[in-house]
Amino acid sequence: MNEAVRNPTEPIVEIENLSISFFTRRGEIPAVMDFSCTVMPGEAMGIVGESGCGKSTVSLGIMRDLSNIGKIVGGRIKFQGRDMGDMSQEELQAIRGNKIAMIYQEPMASLNPAMKVGRQLMEVPLLHDKASKEEAYNRSLAMLKSVRLPDPERMMKSYPHQLSGGQQQRIVIAMALLSKPALLLLDEPTTALDVTVEAGIVELVKGLGKEFGTSMIFVSHNLGLILETCDRITVMYSGEAVETGNIKDVFDRMRHPYTQGLFRSIPLPGADKNSRPLISIPGQLPLPHERPKGCNFGPRCHHFVEGVCNAAEIPMIPVEGHDNHFSRCVRFNEIDWSAVPEGARTHKEPVTPGAPVLKINDLKKYYKVAANEIFGGSGEGRVVKANEAISFEARESETVAIVGESGCGKSTLAKVLLGLETASSGTVTLGNSEIQSIGIEDRDVKTVSSIQMVFQNPFDTLNPSHSVGSQIIRTLEKFGVGRNPAERRNRMLELLDLVKLPRAFAERMPRQLSGGQKQRIGVARAFAGRAQVVVADEPVSALDVSVQAAVTELLMDIQRESKTTMLFISHDLSVVRYIADRVVVMYLGHIVEQGTTDQIFSPPYHPYTEALLSAIPIADTSVVKKHIVLEGDIPSAMNPPSGCPFQTRCPRKHLVPDNLCETQLPPFKDLGNGHRSLCWLDDDVLATMEPVISFSGGDDHAPVADAVPADTPQRPEGRGADPGFAGRPPQRPHGKTATPEAGMAGAEAREAEAKARTRREEVRDDRGGQGADIDPSDPSSALPASPLQVGEGRQADDADVPSAFEETVEERAQDATGRAPKTPNQSGSAKTARAKPSTKANAKPASATKATPASLAALQSGAKAPAAKTPRVATQLKPAKAAPKPSGKMPAEPARAAVDRGRPAGIARPAQPDDLKLISGIGPKIERLLNELGIYTYAQIAAWKKTERAWVSGYLNFSGRIERDDWVRQAKALAKGGEAEYIKVFGRRPR
C-alpha cells in the first residue's frame, strides 16, 4: 500500500490557476491557462478534450518536463503539500520516476531497445531505493507477476522488440509502479493498442490503483475509457478547463455546451444513423492567436449570446447542488439543454439496399516468404495465410463493416479488392466482371474508378506541393471525367460542395487544412469517378471525436445521394454499430461471424465477437457490460493454430467435446436469416448466451439519452437567473492569445501531433499483422515487433513467451566442472545457435544492426559485410543437423555411442501416459516422436539436463526459437500440480 494513503485527507496533488506557455522565435504561445484540479489519495482524475487543448501539457507540467521552450508562467503545483516551484533540481529529480511516474502514449519511447527488460526494470529500485541487485531483481519479478505477464522469468531476459504491443505497455506500467509512486500520469496509454488488448490494460490499471493506492491522472480523448477508469473528470477546451466534477455528475448532469457537444458526437448505444443521427460540433478548435474574448467555445456554441458570453473572461463557476462540480459557462442555468444546433438534422430517411454489386467467393490470399531471399539464398519457404476462404456480398447503397483485431486480414482484403494485390484463389466479382487476378496496373479506367478507397491517414494522402483543387482535377483527368478543363473545374467545385467545404478551399494548400478537412478532400477524390464501391479503411480513427462525427455523417450523406456501396473497415465497434447495415467479423484471416448489425450485436455470438463487444468502452453510465478479457495475443498468420483459428484464446473451448476445436476447422453454423458463425458450440450453449451490453434498468435496447442532463431545470421565461461571474476572475498572467506568427506555429505543432497519432494507429495495424502484409525479406520491415514462430498447429510456439535465454546457475556450474563432448548432432544447441544468427535476423532489427554504406556496398559486391555489435537477441536459428534415427542396420559401437550421448532415458509405455500436448510447442507430431524415444511423462521432460535438451533439439531438427528449457519449465509445473500449478506459474492455461 502506498504511503500516501495513510493520510487520505491530504491531496496528493493540487494544481491552482496553472498557466503554461511555449516561447518560440515567433512569439509566446499560451498553451494552458487558469487550470485547477485536486487529486486525492487513491483517486483517478481523467482529462479529456480535442487534440491541442492542452491535456498532455498539463501532465508534462506536473513532471516539469516542458523542454527548453516551455515554461510555467502562472499558478502553482503542490505535490503532497509542497510547492514544486520551490524545489531544487535535485529534489525534482528524486521525485520523478519515484513518487511521480508517467506512462507515455508509445511504450517503446520509454524502453531501451538495446537492454533486456529485466535490467531496465531493476534500474528503478537500484537508483531510487538504493536496493541490492538481488532485491531489485526480486521486486521486478514480483511486479511483472502483478501486471499479469506470462512467464515473468523469461520476460526479464527478453528485449523489448520481442514483446507484443500489449506486453510492452504492461512492462512500462510495471516500471512506473516499481517505486510505488504516489501519483501516476497516463498519457493516452492505450492509443496504439487493439480494443481487446486495451480492455486488458484498462482492467489492469483499475486493479493496480486499488492494490497500491496510487492516485492517477488519465489523459485521453476517449470518454468511454475515462468512465471505466476514473472517479473524476476534467474537460479541457483550447487550453482551459471548461468543466470538472465527479464522473456521474459530468456524464449525467453536464453543465457546459462543449461537454454536451462531445457526447452528441459519439455513437452511444441506441443511436441510429436514420432516426437518431450524430450531431457534430461545428467549426474547429481556434488557433492560439484566434481565441475570442470571453468564452473560448463561443464561436462554435449554439447557445452563444452576444454581450453576455463575450462580455469578459469567464471563471470556473460552482454548480449548485453538485459536489465539487464547476463549469466555465455563464448561462448553464438558463440553457435549453434539449435544443439542437440550428440546421442539425434529427431524422434521416432510411435507404433500401439494392441488388448485389460486389461478390466475394472463397477468396484466399497467401504470401510465400523465405528467410534469406534478399541475400540470394533459397531459404525455407513459408506461407503467410492472410485471407482464408472469405465469402460475402455487398449490395447497392449498403454499408458492410469488416471488423477484427489488427492482423486479422482486413487491410489485405482491401488491397486485393483495389488491385494492389492479386488473389491466390477464389473470385471477386464487381458488377459482371471478375477482378481478383487483375492488378491495378492492368485494370481499365472504368474498373479503377468504380472501386475507390478512403485511406486511414488524411495527412499523407495529399501532395503538399499542389493546391487542393488541382489534386481533385488531376483525379478527374485520370478517370476521364469532363470534356475540357472548364467542365472538370466545375465538377471539382461540385465535389467541394458535396463534402461541405467552401469553394475557396480549391486554392488552398494541404498545410492550410485541418485533419478533418483533409479527410473530406480524400472523400471527394474517392467519389470523383462516381465509384460503385468505396473501401473506407479506418477513415475516422485518426480524427478527434467531433470531427469523427462530421466525417461519418458526410460519408453516409454521400452514400445516400450516390447509392454507393461502402465497405467500412474498422476496429471501433461503436462506430460500426452506428454506421453499418451488415457486419463481417474476421480473425486470423477467417470470417468467424457475419450477419446484420442487430444480429451481430445480440446473442447468440461467436465467442470472439462476444469478447470484442465486451471490450468496447461506452460513455454511458447506464450501460452494464459483461466482463470478458481475452488472454494472450493473436497467433502468427505464418503459423496459425490447427482446428478453429480462435481456439488458442477461446474462453468457451472447454464446452466443446472431443477436442474438436483443436483438431478440426468448424463449418459455418446457420443461425437463421443470413446469420452465420464459424463455431463448434452446440445450439444449447448458444441459447444460454446473455447480452454483452445491457442497461441498469434491465432494458437491452434502451434508447440513447440525447446528451441532455438528467436534472435539467425547467427553462424560465425570458432570460433566467444565470450564475453571473461568481468567484475570482480567471488568472492569465500572459493573456490567452498568441501573436499570429506564433499561432501558426501552434497550428503546425497541432498537425504534427495529429500525424503522430495517425502513425500510432498505423503501427498498431502493422504490428498486429504478424507479417501478413509485410515482406520479411525487406530489411526495413517492422517484423522484429512480432518474432517469427515455427511449427504447425499446436506445435506453433507461444507468442506470449519470448526467447533470449541465458544459461541457468546449474548449467554454468556444469560448464565449470566439465562440458560434455559435443557431437555434430549437438550443433543445434540453444547457445551455439544463438551465437550464429541467420542473415534474415541480422537484416531485421533496426535497433540492433544499422546498415551503413560500407556494409551495403559489401553485400552488393558479394563481400562479407563488417560485423556490427548487437545485443544478443532471439533470432531465427540455423537448422540443426538431425541425429540419425534408428534403422535396420546398426552403426559401429563407437559411432553409436557418440550418437546416443545426451539422449534422454526412455521408459516403457505406462498405462496412462501424460498428455504432452499440454506443453506449449508440442503438437501431435512431436508427441509421437517423443513417444518413440520412450518419453511419455512430464516428469521425464522435467528431469532433462542441458545435454539432453540439446540432443532433443538436434533429433527434432528444429530451426526456430522454440527452446527445450521452456518445455522443462512447463513440464515441472504440470508434473508438480497439473493445470492448476501451470496457471499459478505462467498466469495462463496450458495449451
Q: 73-132 pLDDT, tens per residue?
A: 999 999 999 999 889 888 888 888 888 988 887 788 889 999 999 999 999 999 888 889
- State the CATH number of the domain containing residue 457: 3.40.50.300
* Grid cell of 951 as nine digits: 540432443
Res. 265: pLDDT tops 80: yes
Comparing 451-455, 838-842, 960-964, the range with the smallest average pLDDT is 838-842
Is residue 509 assigned to a domain? Answer: yes
Bridge-based pairing of strands 44-48 and 215-219 is parallel
Q: DSSP character for 634?
A: P
In the structure grid, which three cell numbers stand for residue 127, read together? 537508483
The letter for the amino acid at 973 is A
The vertex-132 CA angle with 126 and 137, nearest 5°, equals: 75
Instruction: Compare 816 and 508 and report the one with higher pLDDT.
Output: 508
β-sheet bridge partners, residue 48: 235
pLDDT of residue 811: 42
DSSP H helical ranges for 652-804: 660-663, 683-687, 740-768
Q: What is the mean pLDDT of the chain?
A: 78
- The answer to whether residue 4 scores a pLDDT higher than 60 is no
- What letter would DSSP give residue 122? H
DSSP 187-252: ESTTTTS-HHHHHHHHHHHHHHHHHHT-EEEEE-S-HHHHHHH-SEEEEEETTEEEEEEEHHHHHH
| pLDDT for 731 | 67
State yes or no: pLDDT of 181 exceeds 80: yes
CA R_g for the chain: 30
C-beta of residue 708 within 8 angstroms of C-beta of residue 255: no
Lowest mean pLDDT among 16-20, 345-349, 396-400, 888-892: 888-892
Give residue 647's pLDDT.
92
Is 438:424 a contact under the CB 8 Å cutoff? Answer: no
Distance, CA of 824 to CA of 430 (rounded, Å): 58
Residue 176 confidence (pLDDT) above 60? yes
Give residue 839's pLDDT: 39
Question: Residue 17: is it exposed, middle or buried by C-beta count within 10 angstroms (0-12/13-18/19+)?
Answer: middle
Query: Can you tell me the mean pLDDT for 18-44?
Result: 89
Helix (H) or strand (E) holding 47: strand 44-48
Which residue stretches of 377-514 are H helix?
Answer: 410-418, 445-450, 468-478, 485-498
Confidence of residue 754 (pLDDT cuts 50, 70, 90): low
Reduced to 3 states, what is the DSSP secondary structure of residue 583?
A: strand
Look at residue 627 and tell me whether its pLDDT is greater than 90.
Answer: no
Q: Is 241 helix (H, G, I), strand (E, B) or coil?
A: strand
Residue 330: inside a domain: no
Tens digits of residue pLDDT in 393-424: 999 999 999 998 877 888 899 999 999 999 99
Report which listed range, 130-144, 184-198, 695-709, is most confident. 130-144
**Spatial distance between the Cα atoms of 256 and 81, rounded to a whole number of angstroms:** 31
* Residue partners of 926: CB distance under 8 A and separation at least 6: 791, 795, 916, 956
- Whether the predicted pLDDT of 706 surpasses 60: no
Q: Which residue has the higher pLDDT, 747 or 329?
A: 329
Mean pLDDT over 633-660 rounds to 87
Mean pLDDT for the stretch of residues 50-76: 88
Q: Which of 676, 693, 710 is the last residue of a domain?
A: 693
pLDDT of 855 = 37
Pinpoint the alpha helices (H) of 64-180.
89-95, 117-128, 133-146, 152-156, 165-177
Instruction: Examine the pLDDT at 337 and tell me if it is beyond 50.
Output: yes
Q: What angle do CA 946, 951, 953 make, to 5 degrees?
A: 95
Report the alpha-carbon distance of residue 298 to residue 277 in Å, rounded: 24
The answer to the question of residue 475 being in a domain is: yes
The residues that bridge with 219 in the sheet, in sequence order, are 47, 187
Specify the pLDDT at position 541. Answer: 77
Give the model's pLDDT for residue 926.
86
Lowest mean pLDDT among 103-117, 552-566, 607-621, 833-847: 833-847
Q: Looking at the domain assignment, is residue 173 inside a domain?
A: no
| Residue-level pLDDT at 963 | 61
For residue 339, tell me if it sits in a domain: no
Is the pLDDT assigned to residue 303 strictly greater than 60?
A: yes
Bond before 604 cis per omega within 30 degrees: yes
Examine the pLDDT at 710 and tell me if it is beyond 70: no
Please name the residue that has the C-alpha cell 465467442.
607
Residue 887 lies in a domain: no
Structural domain of 967:
916-986
Residues facing residue 24 across a β-bridge: 27
> CA of 454: how far to CAs of 418, 537, 539, 566, 774, in Å?
11, 6, 6, 10, 21
What is the per-residue pLDDT across 346-380, written as a single tens digit (0 to 9) for each?
A: 677 788 888 999 999 999 999 887 655 544 555 56
Q: Give the pLDDT of residue 174.
A: 87
Per-residue pLDDT tens digits for 670-699: 998 999 999 999 999 999 999 998 887 555
What's the confidence (pLDDT) of residue 720? Answer: 38
Domain end residue (candidates: 693, 711, 728): 693
- Predicted confidence at residue 105, as pLDDT, reads 77
**Mean pLDDT lowest for which of 80-84, 466-470, 649-653, 753-757?**
753-757
Q: What was the pLDDT predicted at 399? A: 94
Helix, coil or strand: residue 518: helix
What's the grid cell of residue 363? 477468396
Residue whose C-alpha cell reads 541490492 in the numeric block: 132
**CA distance readout (Å), 423 to 112, 373, 431, 638, 766:** 40, 22, 18, 17, 20
Average pLDDT of span 577-582? 92
Q: Are 411 and 773 in contact (CB under 8 A)?
A: yes
Reduced to 3 states (helix: H, G, I; strand: E, B; else coil), residue 73 is strand
pLDDT of residue 928: 86
Q: Establish if 430 belongs to a structural domain.
A: yes
Kindly state whether residue 479 falls inside one of the protein's structural domains. Answer: yes
Check pLDDT > 50 for residue 883. Answer: no
C-alpha–C-alpha distance, residues 593 and 574, integer Å: 17
Assess whether pLDDT exceeds 90 at residue 27: no
Listed residues 646, 669, 693: the one ending a domain? 693
Domain count, the chain: 2
- Comparing 814 with 303, the larger pLDDT belongs to 303
pLDDT digits (tens, 9 = 90+) for 948-976: 888 888 787 654 444 677 888 889 999 99
pLDDT at position 749: 58
- Residue 773 or 140, more confident: 140
What band does 735 get if pLDDT is binned at 50, 70 and 90? low
d(CA 989, CA 791): 20
Residue with cell 458450440: 681
Task: Work out the percent of the chain whose per-residue pLDDT is above 70.
Answer: 76
